[in-house]
Amino acid sequence: MTTLRFIDATSLADAQKAGPADGTAFYLPGGDAYRAWTISEVHGIATRYRLPVFVRSNPALSRVTGDVDNAVAGLHAFAVPRGTLLALDSETSVNPAYVQEFWSGIRAAGYRLIDYGSQSVVFGNQNPDGYYWGADWTDVPHVHPGDQATQFASFSNFDVSEFSPALPLWDTRPPAPPARPAEVAVKVNLPVIVFGTSDAHLPHWYVHRIQAIANGVWNKGLAVDGVFGPKTQAAIQALQSQYGLPAAERGQVGQVTWGLLLAGA
């Protein structure tokens, strides 16, 4: 099985010392992490994959609601896309009831969970998703049987893990741009959508469609309200910059931008 190399460190600077990697684990605030990462550090991660980690040493069931709330608040603060993976690091504490409740809260918020710890501890916690990040502590890179990820080496300022590419990881690689987006739009002759446009004054739900595509393909998290307001405009501008679309369409949905959206959909 092809695996992904992940770096686990207490800061972006230390993670970068580990050299090339496919993914980076970073620590959320609100738990027992030695040091939570800042938003600027997370934005500075150059690897394709990212994994948020929430630490709660010796978890108690009485704290699980607050821990879920803190973890979800951190996921939102770092703009972690829904449907992707969060790691729970409970050190060496065995508390299956806590893990079940934590998992349930994270799933209700729209995320998935991987549990970190030693083989016996993690398997004992019975993560319902079956995603385990085992601490094996050998010097041979591999994913241990039964794990979806294995931490196989420890250094002075970072740890290294192997991850299965089948996990629902936060993948920051953007969708491939369409080859010729302009031709898609020309064929259907769609209207130009500018700032302030509302579907209430259009013959079709064009803005609703723009917002739904931006959310479904690019995880923009927009309110699908049919109004081309500042947040929708900012999301479109980001896509235009990301794919190098013509400056003449910046901040509005013209023919080339419609082509990008329709091809993505």
- Of 88, 14, 85, 77, the closest CA to residue 55 belongs to 88
Give the gyration radius of the chain's Cα atoms: 21
Please count the CA atoms within 13 angstroms of the CA of 103 that sit on its side-chain side: 18
CATH topology of domain 181-264: Muramoyl-pentapeptide Carboxypeptidase; domain 1 (1.10.101)
What are the residue ranges spanned by the domains of the chain?
4-171, 181-264
Q: What CA–CA distances, in Å, run from 224 to 28, 48, 150, 201, 253?
A: 29, 28, 40, 16, 16
- What is the mean pLDDT of each successive set of 10 residues along the chain, which is 265 residues long? 89 93 96 92 94 92 94 94 93 80 95 87 79 80 84 81 94 69 56 93 89 87 92 94 90 90 76
Residue 134 pairs in a beta bridge with 117, 150
Intrachain domains 4-171 and 181-264 with the same fold: no
Kindly give the residue spans of alpha helices, DSSP state H, lying in the chain: 12-16, 39-43, 64-77, 96-108, 119-125, 181-188, 206-218, 230-242, 255-264
pLDDT at 12: 95
Contacts of 187 (CB under 8 A, 6+ apart): none
pLDDT at 203: 83
- Of 61, 56, 46, the closest CA to residue 13 belongs to 46
pLDDT at 180: 53
pLDDT at 187: 53
pLDDT at 242: 87
CATH topology of domain 4-171: TIM Barrel (3.20.20)
Q: What CA–CA distances, in Å, run from 4 to 134, 228, 231?
A: 15, 39, 34
pLDDT at 185: 47
pTM equals 0.68
One-character DSSP codes across 178-201: PS-HHHHHHHHTPPPB-TT-BGGG
